[in-house]
Structure 1
């Protein structure tokens, strides 16, 4: 089932399962599997929170799971496009990965 078709309770269950799988991969030092599970977790969370997130074009946000920031220049659905501070590359990330910083 697609995340976009899931109910909030299905998304929460999926996130719980992905977190457990991610933790297992982390404990086993299986970094590629950990990253895949965490990316899926952020996608599921983005669908869960999309109606309550109010990101602003031109604003810079911290990137979760990274020591970097993103200046948002476009929003579409659950994805935010912007320029990554560390290398000036344009990337797209799930909105749940963006965190406000001071």
Structure 2
């Protein structure tokens, strides 16, 4: 399980490593362009029920911590889906990865 630390909040945001790696690419791209946006997610099992959103701004400190020592292979499709949602008025909504299965 990875962790996202945002601003001066002592409360970490737990996000599965693979999802966090994909979010990192999209978030870094947006912030590098000096763009602000929201990030929304549903709470995971064991945490409080519901969902949360944060406002991401280039001037606010952000740290990504990963449990895995090796980065995962990234899915271009998932990155594109997250980036497309980042460009809407609702901001990034963390969704499950859609895995295409080969049939044959």
So what's the TM-score if we normalise by structure 2? 0.26
Looking at secondary structure, tell me which structure has more helix per residue. 1
The structure whose RCO (Cα within 8 Å, separation 6+) is larger is 2
So what's the TM-score if we normalise by structure 1? 0.27
